[in-house]
Structure 1
Amino acid sequence: MFTGYSGPKGFSSGAFRAYNRTQEMNHGDLFYTIDNDPYLFYDLDNLSLIKPSGNVVFHINDKEARNNSGSFKAILEVYSEANKHY
């Protein structure tokens, strides 16, 4: 309730950046990592560019995410070169 609500793109106003895990994205932004390289942060605009193998792990750009409430729903479709399902 302190910050209000945001969508998966976080707070575009630049608010609360001191609490960010990464400064390259908005506070509260939904982003992901690949479990075999958890230090590279990807924004949702690049979700279709995943090439490496591994699990996609979603995060909120907030150092103190445990004090938040709410959720996002993500639907992922997996395409591979083998089945050419584009």
Structure 2
Amino acid sequence: MSDDESFSYAPEVEQIYTDAETQEAMQFMRENDLPMSDLLYALKYVRILNRATDLDEQFKQIKQRLHKLRTEDIPVVKPPTAAELQSERY
């Protein structure tokens, strides 16, 4: 089997960017003196940058919830005393 037969074409998924992302990408390009031909890369950069910020916030919220659950729902278990053990035998 040649390499051509095992190759499958996967077209790039078309991304739709918001106006806010576009404005942020344009600002990034102006600040870094980038040509308009780099707009797609700037848009991808902005999306990744914003996604990372959103994920950080989600991770913080999850961490807080887990901490709250752990501190509130920790069962207190103590070994039985000698008196309790003897009363169970009789």
TM-score scaled to structure 2, two decimals? 0.18
By percentage of residues, which structure has more helix? 2
TM-score scaled to structure 1, two decimals? 0.18
Q: Which has the larger radius of gyration?
A: 2
